[in-house]
Amino acid sequence: EVQLQASGGGLVKAGGSLRLSCAASGFAVDDYAISWFRQVPGKGREGVSCISKNDGNPYYEASVKGRFTTSSDNAKNVVHLQLSALTPEDTAVYYCARTKLCGSLWYVHGHYDYWGQGTLVTVSS
């Protein structure tokens, strides 16, 4: 059974850091692209990053580029998202999701077949 389990969220002050993890089971993360999305109440789900061995460098949403870093630990079958220099605008529920390739339309959430349950990141000012 394919499952994605997101964890690592919490409360952090502005300027702080967190590391989110997406633990996969039922498939190898090395064979797929794993993305992070985030969502705040009343807004749509926003693509944050996408990583795949077949896409070269990871993709990032413009507002997080240089602050967030995604990486894949294939031995543990986990994809991480390191969040740094956090601002209150980064407050959201963060989800990981699976697709076959990132590509230029990686941020379109309709391309994803499995989603994790989400982990809440709250950044205080």
Write the pLDDT tens digit of every residue in 78-110. 999 999 999 999 999 999 999 999 988 898 878
- pLDDT value, residue 56: 84
Q: Is the dihedral of CA 9, 45, 98, 54 positive or negative?
A: negative
Rounded to an integer, the average pLDDT of 51-75 is 95
Percent of the chain with pLDDT over 70: 100
Backbone angles phi, psi at 55, to 5 degrees: -110, 5
pLDDT score of 30 more than 90: yes
Q: Report DSSP letters for 13-55, one per residue.
A: ETT--EEEEEEEESS-GGGSEEEEEEE-TTS--EEEEEE-TTS
Maximum distance among all Cα pairs of the chain, rounded to whole angstroms: 40
Task: Mean pLDDT check: name the lowest of 10-14, 25-29, 105-109.
Answer: 105-109
- pLDDT value, residue 109: 79
Entry field: residues in the chain: 125
In angstroms, rounded to a whole number, what is the distance separating the alpha carbons of residues 57 and 117? 26
Amino acid present at 90: D
- pLDDT value, residue 44: 92
Rounded to an integer, the average pLDDT of 60-67 is 97
Torsion of CA 66, 64, 89, 32, to 10 degrees: -140
